Amino acid sequence: MEKTTTFCLKTGLSVIFLSTTSAQTFATSATAKEKKGGGVGLLFEPAYLKLHRTGELGERAETLWAAMENCELCPRSCGVNRLEGEEGFCHAPGTALIVSAFHPHFGEERPLVGDHGSGTVFLTHCNLRCVFCQNWEISHLGRGAEKSIDELAAIMLKLQDAGCHNINIVTPTHYSAHILKAVDRAAGAGLRLPIVYNTSGWERQEILEALDGVVDIYLPDFKYWESDMSAQYSSDAATYPEITRQAILEMHRQVGVAKPAYNGYMQRGVMIRHLVMPNDISGSEKIMEWIADNLPKDTYINIMAQYSPLFKAFEYPNLARRITREEYVRVVEKARDLGLENLDIQGYWWLR
């Protein structure tokens, strides 16, 4: 029998992921060439390499870095000088960044995981701070280890050497300047993996424009349809629905529809995540209607069923339970009725 190894990373009470992979597969199934290139295919070239070669990637990184002097990296536009140690809403530091964990992640979407995992870097702090956050010790409390730009670049290269298929940056918004600097340095040292921008979706248009030609795969959440819901449950972020709609349109303009390459690995495109929440707090059917009306019918949509009442959720009666099977099925059926054809369906095998 093949030996299996369980990877489990905990921070206090919350578990970031729990997944099992074959130790033999992880160690030996990639060829030397695949490991060197992360198993993405020898013909693939990530978007950022062109900007790195011309020097524009470094210039964009410096532009975003300067934006932290009067911080406006996210829609809150706090205006604090992070480079002088001032803290805005997210409480993220300025010149350094805090990493909670990094590893090959086998709990992401299958086209990102592939055979050897998604090279995931969990960054701390968050500009939304949702009351139901499953990783609140990371996003709210900022628990992790301080890293420099060079150390983040080294992490990216280490994940590539491990055979990962991409570099998956989780909660990147308030660290976008650091990320661009690290990608630029890592590219000079041989990084060739696609960059996954794993975001809440609440992104400023100007920042996304700075990421054009840098990010290969956008992985945005689309959490809420109604502004009163985002304001109540995500720290007064009333602008979340409108800004996220515009952000997703810009992401699609940049990278288009997500389609796996010949080897099954995702290399480019937008992959939308939508978490179905109890009592239709998320406005799921309206979100499906908007996607059907504004994006191609084959847009990748992960309809997520894993909502659990964590952190402060029990203080809000409408959040204090898991979703029912009927609530989830209703969203899937609505998406199908609208002609959306590239759905990632979780948990309910008979819906696939």
Can you tell me the mean pLDDT for 236-241?
A: 98
Give pLDDT, residue 2: 38
Q: Are β-strands 14-22 and 97-105 bridged in parallel, bridged antiparallel, or unpaired?
A: unpaired
For residue 67, the enclosing domain spans: 32-351
User: Does some domain include residue 21?
Assistant: no
Give pLDDT, residue 351: 67
Q: Which of 74-78, 133-137, 247-251, 343-347 has the lowest mean pLDDT?
A: 133-137
pLDDT single digits (tens) 155-175: 999 999 999 999 999 999 999
User: Does some domain include residue 20?
Assistant: no
Give pLDDT, residue 138: 85
User: Does some domain include residue 347?
Assistant: yes
* Residue 176 in this model has a pLDDT that exceeds 50: yes
DSSP 58-97: HHHHHHHHHHGGGT-SSTT-----GGGT---TT---SSSE
User: Does some domain include residue 87?
Assistant: yes
Phi, then psi, of 141 in degrees rounded to 5: -95, -20
Q: Give the separation between CA 119 and CA 21, rounded to whole angstroms.
A: 14
Select from 334, 256, 330 the least CA-distant residue to 300: 256
Mean pLDDT of the chain, nearest integer: 89
Domain count, the chain: 1
pLDDT single digits (tens) 282-341: 999 999 999 999 999 999 999 999 999 999 999 999 999 999 999 999 999 999 999 999
Can you tell me the mean pLDDT for 261-269?
A: 95
Tell me the percentage of the chain whose pLDDT exceeds 70: 86
Q: What is the CATH number of the domain that holds 247?
A: 3.20.20.70
Cβ 74 vs Cβ 90: under 8 Å: yes
User: Does some domain include residue 290?
Assistant: yes
Can you tell me the mean pLDDT for 22-28?
A: 33
User: Does some domain include residue 80?
Assistant: yes
Higher-pLDDT residue of 207, 43: 207
Provide the token pair at 187.
Answer: 């590219």
Can you tell me the mean pLDDT for 215-229?
A: 99
Q: How confident is the model at residue 20 (pLDDT cuts 50, 70, 90)?
A: very low
Q: How confident is the model at residue 190 (pLDDT cuts 50, 70, 90)?
A: very high
User: Does some domain include residue 25?
Assistant: no
Give pLDDT, residue 137: 78
User: Does some domain include residue 5?
Assistant: no
Give pLDDT, residue 225: 99
* Residue 265 in this model has a pLDDT that exceeds 50: yes
